[in-house]
Amino acid sequence: MATNESISIFSSASLAVEYVDSLLPENPLQEPFKNAWNYMLNNYTKFQIATWGSLIVHEALYFLFCVPGFLFQFIPYMNKYKIQKDKSETLERQWKCFKTLLFNHFCIQLPLICGTYYFTEYFNIPYDWERMPRWHMLLVRCLGCAMIEDTWHYFLHRLLHHKRLYKHIHKVHHEFQAPFGMEAEYAHPLETLILGTGFFIGILLLTDHVILLWVWVAFRLLETIDVHSGYDIPFNPLHLIPFYAGSRHHDFHHMNFIGNYASTFTWWDRIFGTDSQYIAYTEKMKKAAKKTE
């Protein structure tokens, strides 16, 4: 009975989304995107698309998303949005971060990316345009990946803060007490593998087309670079996501080292009370702000 009700609710929701989608104006980018996608399929092998295509998507999006935060440090006006205003990293330290990132990306992550083709072949994951999922199904599956990754990240991240493990692995990521966007994937190689596993669990469970790999990569990079940006920018569209943690939530983790272990959402920290120090801190800051008014 419960299963039938769940299916009925899901079907109704799907029909509602389809109806709303039918009312929207035709997407002018769909035809160019379709032509570009088919051009890629006609000119490159599946191995090239899954491996080198995924690498290009990751590298291009990662450093593209880092550009705004990098430029903000040279714009005095943006200092009003900086969370830890009294702390900034030198260009030398940022260069060190960049070099470590390149090592992690090409020596740790690239071998994992090379398995993408074999994963899609083993599970018969389609590449063709005809089986491309609709935008709302991509959104739902991407959200599912985010929830799975967030759960894995919370518990494993919290474990890496254990006193017997912290100094050997996670301490590398905490070299920067005031985070900046490019530092999002600055980590010990073992941490890259341990926490990165959460990224792949959703892919294993939810992928029904190769496009989901790239959509999920794009969302995860955008989110992790945002929470590490060090800036709380108003009208951030990511704040429209229910329970989204945001940059202030994660910035406090870097400043305080204890609590706020989740990557994307706030519910695990709230359930286990690991956001208590953050809540106390924000209340203290609000009271201090009122006194200065």
Q: Is the pLDDT of residue 204 over 70?
A: yes
Q: Residue with structure tokens 């089986």?
A: 131
Output the pLDDT for position 2: 47
Q: Tokens 């955008």, residue?
A: 222
Q: Give the integer Cα–Cα distance in Å for 11 and 17.
A: 10
pLDDT tens-digit readout, 164-202: 999 999 999 999 888 899 999 999 999 999 999 999 999
The whole-number average pLDDT for the span 94-112 is: 93
How confident is the model over 208-228, as pLDDT tens digits? Answer: 999 999 999 999 999 999 999
pLDDT tops 80 at residue 8: no
Question: Residue 163 falls within a domain, yes or no?
Answer: yes
Mean pLDDT of 280-293: 80
Closest CA to 198 of 264, 250, 246: 264
d(C-alpha 33, C-alpha 261), whole Å:
38
Q: Residue 1: inside a domain, yes or no?
A: no
**Residue 17 has which token pair?**
């989304």
Domain coverage including residue 151: 44-292
Residue 169 lies in a domain: yes
Q: What would the mean pLDDT of 55-64 be, rounded to a whole number?
A: 97
Q: Is the pLDDT of residue 291 over 60?
A: yes
Do 225 and 66 form a contact (C-beta atoms < 8 A)?
yes
What are the two backbone dihedrals, phi and then psi, of residue 75, each rounded to the nearest 5 degrees? -110, 105
Q: What angle, 0 to 180 degrees and rounded to 10, lies between the N-to-C axes of helices 189-206 and 210-227? A: 140
Distance CA(214)–CA(54), nearest Å, equals: 7
In a domain, 210, yes or no: yes
Q: Is residue 12 part of a domain?
A: no
Sign of the dihedral defined by the CA atoms of residues 222, 70, 239, 171, in that order: positive
Higher-pLDDT residue of 34 and 7 is 34
Question: How many domains does the chain fold into?
Answer: 1
Quote the pLDDT of residue 293: 62
| Three-state DSSP class for residue 151 | helix
- Domain for residue 5, yes or no? no
Question: Which amino acid belongs to residue 138?
Answer: L
More confident residue, 251 or 11: 251
CA dist., res. 194 & res. 56, Å (int): 23
pTM for the whole thing? 0.88
Q: How confident is the model at residue 18 (pLDDT cuts 50, 70, 90)?
A: low
Q: Please give the share of the chain, as a percent, with pLDDT higher than 70.
A: 90
Confidence bin at 134 (pLDDT 50/70/90): confident
Q: Is residue 38 part of a domain?
A: no
Residue 37 lies in a domain: no
Q: Is it the case that residue 81 has pLDDT exceeding 70?
A: yes
In this prediction, residues 284-292 reach a mean pLDDT of 77
Nearest to 261 by CA among 143, 151, 147: 151
